[in-house]
Amino acid sequence: MEERPLIRPENTIAVIQKYGFDFQKKFGQNFLIDSHVLDKIMAAADIGPEDFVLEIGPGIGTMTQALAKQAGGVAAVEIDSHLVPILQETLAGYDNVTIINQDILKVDIKALAEQYNEGRPIKVVANLPYYITTPIVMGLLEGRAPVDSITVMVQKEVAVRMEAGPGTKDYGALSLAVQYYAEPYLAANVPPNCFIPRPKIGSAVIRLTLRRQPAVAVEDEKLLFRLIRASFNQRRKTLVNSLYNGGLPYTKEQLAEAIRGMDLPETVRGEALTLEQFGTLANRLKGMD
């Protein structure tokens, strides 16, 4: 199929018709048909012959073809068994691709890196179904999987939230969780007409470069994320009230004292704090235990 790249709409349509493929809403399937967008994904992912790539949701193999040409090896994890025979045809010309018919949330990525890349960190590239973007991305980050970078096509508003900074309306728990583990870079905005079928909303390509160490040093990581979640659950409330109502094991006086000790006004809201300030607050509260 190398002479018939799937990124061309007519070739994608031909494959879909040949196999009588029905798009599954439950899997959030939208196939990319724009070569400029594909080029932007490949540039952001920065794939070379020394890289092993995990592709999540290859669909009919459009991006897989491009990845296989540049990477040393590719593991394409596809949950939909109906797509496996299509992938076996469209990727027949590439001997460095392994097709894995599995749910990515159940794949042992450490074992995958051991098997195919001698345990070295791999690069993740994906056109993610919108309904499961956050569980997949956070699973990769929180699981401390051996991953170098994650370059993904996601719903535009999710990409914007991932890279948002303090004081903006998009800044929230997802921003802080992603930025704790990785450095986000929004590489491209992608309109709906770049896909078959067209999604109802815009997309974006974002690259997350994983940090060697988390962005802030905290004594209790669980406490940090409890603070962050509580701060944004009631984002119009002051930070002290949000935390007090968030079920944390501290009195209102202890919370107010910790915030005052950081030279912050008692009226401050969670959305004004940087990740570093949340880390400081977590350590101050931990010191009260």
* Residue 17 near residue 179 (C-beta atoms within 8 A): no
Q: How far apart are CA 129 and CA 155, in angstroms?
A: 9
Tokens representing residue 178 in the block: 């992603």
Task: Answer whether 9-210 and 221-286 agree in fold.
Answer: no
**Per-residue pLDDT in tens (0 to 9) along the chain, 289 residues:** 445 688 888 888 898 888 878 776 666 678 898 999 999 999 999 999 999 999 999 999 999 999 999 999 999 999 999 999 999 999 999 999 999 999 999 999 999 999 999 999 999 999 988 888 999 999 999 988 899 999 999 999 999 999 999 999 999 999 999 999 999 999 999 999 999 888 888 999 999 999 999 999 999 999 999 999 999 998 889 999 999 999 899 999 999 999 999 999 989 999 999 999 999 999 999 988 7
Q: How far apart are CA 104 and CA 84, in angstroms?
A: 15
- H-helix or E-strand spanning residue 152: strand 147-155
Q: How far apart are CA 144 and CA 165, in angstroms?
A: 24
Fold category of 221-286 in CATH: Helicase, Ruva Protein; domain 3 (1.10.8)
Which residues, in sequence order, are bridge partners of residue 194? none
Q: How far apart are CA 130 and CA 83, in angstroms?
A: 19
Q: How far apart are CA 73 and CA 95, in angstroms?
A: 9
Q: How far apart are CA 165 and CA 155, in angstroms?
A: 18
The pLDDT value recorded for residue 174 is 96
Tokens representing residue 218 in the block: 């905290």
* Residue 63 near residue 87 (C-beta atoms within 8 A): no
Q: How far apart are CA 283 and CA 289, in angstroms?
A: 10
- H-helix or E-strand spanning residue 183: strand 182-190
Domain ranges of the chain: 9-210, 221-286
The pLDDT value recorded for residue 1 is 40
* Residue 61 near residue 76 (C-beta atoms within 8 A): yes
DSSP string computed for 189-255: EE-GGGEESPPSS-EEEEEEEEPSS-SS--S-HHHHHHHHHHHHHTTTS-HHHHHHTTT-SS-HHHH
Biggest CA-to-CA distance, the chain: 69
Q: How far apart are CA 87 and CA 60, in angstroms?
A: 5
Q: How far apart are CA 5 and CA 62, in angstroms?
A: 7
pTM metric for this prediction: 0.91
CATH numeric code, 9-210: 3.40.50.150
